[in-house]
Amino acid sequence: MTDPSKYKFNHTMLRVKDPKKSLAFYKHLGMSEVNKFEFPDNKFDLYFLAYDAPGAPGHGKHWTDREGIIELTHNYGTEDSDWKAHNGNKQPQGFGHVCVSVDNIQAACKRISDAGYTFQKKLEDGRMRHIAFALDPDDYWVEIIAQNPVDKTEDVTTTDTATYRMNHTMIRVKDKDKSIKFYEDVMGMNLKRTSENEAAKFNLYFLGYGSESGNKSANGVNPTAEKEGLLELTWNYGTEKEGGKVYHDGNAEPQGFGHICVSVDDLDAACKKMEDKGVEWKKRLTDGRMKNVAFVLDPDGYWIEVVQNESLKAAPGKY
């Protein structure tokens, strides 16, 4: 048996050109390196970053027992080459952004800017004055949202990165109904919030594990800002009527975003349940040499890694 209430949206994987620069950026946002895997024979390393300060939801936990991790994948030599990550917002589109929620958004954005980092959208740009988009060293978009009312923090000059949360990951989907059904019925997530934007012809659907989010909202739009481990599905009206595949999974060229990952209570049982649901596999648990990871494909072809939560049960072999 497997219990989806024990599943966790563990991490989001991004390929990076220069790990030193990327690590510096995410550590500036207050994240800590909670794990690292080195594969010199295969010429790549994996860095796992998360919020780990006392009070953070995952503080002190095993890396598989957390939500809101960013996994940075570095293929050796890219830092000395002309390779460039595809951020998913230029054509072909797919992955959109990761999002960090902060205590005092004006002070947090100033701190990012003062460190020399640039923005796709500054807080004061456009009509949406409650969000910003910073750019990491590979031009991945990092949305910055507020945990507290924006009008109450205008004169606050300090920000505490220990209170930050890796809130969500956004991907674009072709058919909202198919995607929501997949993430609810197959992956065991719950729909936490819906944001309909009829004038702009797109909707946002936030899914995740754990308790309900409630209606509390700091700025009328972010009732889930205090959470970690949410998945945002962006649906642009009419894409469900288009033929064939609409969005880029990030693993075909040009590469950038790689996958999201769910940790489960019992890896064998969870994979059997997914098999019984008729999922399409990228890699079954029994395929290849790595018997401790599987990859499921969602309705848009995005890869979902499935791993054992090692705080609940030992993993079958090494990662």
Residues belonging to the active site: 143
Specify the 3-state DSSP secondary structure of 76. coil
Cα separations in angstroms, 307 against 16, 257, 267, 276, 293: 22, 18, 6, 18, 5
* Beta-carbon count within 10 A of 194 CB: 12
User: What whole-number distance in Å separates Cα of residue 172 and Cα of residue 298?
Assistant: 12
User: What whole-number distance in Å separates Cα of residue 16 and Cα of residue 139?
Assistant: 10
Specify the 3-state DSSP secondary structure of 294. strand
- Of 29, 59, 35, nearest in space to 47 by CA: 35
The sheet with strand 202-208 has its strands ordered as 119-121, 131-135, 141-146, 95-102, 165-173, 230-236, 202-208, 190-197
